[in-house]
Amino acid sequence: MKIIKEHIDNNIESIEIISAQYIEGYSIKLIFSDGFNRVVNFKSFLEHSLHPSIRKYLDMEKFRNFKIIDGNINWNDYDMIFPIWDLHEGKI
């Protein structure tokens, strides 16, 4: 039997969303735990999705009804959620 010790880099931060503010249209300003701010526009993602459970968020009332849970932005109890790093990089 061979035991391999995994190297864990303690310098890697766990990034969370600490604030989310609706701006306009399908844009939300996100503030991350590392101090980085980004405005993410979800319009293209929503418009290009073929799945009805995603497209329903083109309804502005539903889109604006998001919450931060466990450091991530989500809609309707995890009905729509994104990887935090993708949001941080603006790649949705």
Residues 6-21: pLDDT tens digits? 434 443 468 999 999 9
pLDDT tier at 1 (50, 70, 90 boundaries)? very low
Region 58-80: mean pLDDT is 96
Q: Is this model's pTM higher than 0.85 or not?
A: no
Pairing relation of β-strands 27-32 and 37-41?
Answer: antiparallel
Phi/psi of residue 18, each to 5°?
Answer: -105, -15
CATH topology classification for 17-89? NE0471 N-terminal domain-like (3.30.2020)
Residue 5: pLDDT band (50, 70, 90) is very low
Average pLDDT of the chain is 89
C-alpha 54/C-alpha 15 separation (Å) is: 25
Strands 17-24, 72-75: pairing kind? unpaired
